[in-house]
């Protein structure tokens, strides 16, 4: 069965203050983290993505944005 999905790119900018808080992003059970194994993060370089599945496209987009924001906010609070 197909379900609506949304994706948020993870660019190298997220690593500017060290390793991002992946546990925060993965705390959303409907969100999956995909890292590409690149060793050197650079601003604008695509390092991975988050994917969310939900009942509607709007819900999927909201989930993936929330996970990405939680990961970014927690990483920048340290």
pLDDT of residue 72: 62
The pLDDT score that the predictor gives to residue 1 is 75
Enumerate the β-bridge partners of residue 42: none
Positions in the chain whose pLDDT score sits under 70: 71-78
Burial of 24 (0-12, 13-18, 19+ CB in 10 A): middle
pTM for this prediction: 0.82
CB 7 within 8 A of CB 49: yes
- Of 5, 1, 2, 11, the closest CA to residue 49 belongs to 11
How many Å apart are CA 70 and CA 73, to the nearest integer?
Answer: 5
> Tell me, which fold does domain 5-77 have in CATH?
D-amino Acid Aminotransferase; Chain A, domain 1 (3.30.470)
């Amino acid at each position: 069965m197909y379900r609506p999905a949304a994706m948020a790119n993870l660019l190298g900018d997220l690593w500017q203050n060290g390793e991002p808080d992946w546990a925060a992003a993965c705390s959303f059970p409907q969100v999956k983290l995909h890292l590409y194994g690149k060793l050197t993060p650079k601003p604008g370089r695509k390092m991975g993505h988050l994917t969310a599945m939900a009942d509607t496209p709007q819900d999927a987009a909201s989930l993936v944005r929330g996970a990405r924001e939680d990961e970014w906010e927690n990483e920048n609070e340290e």
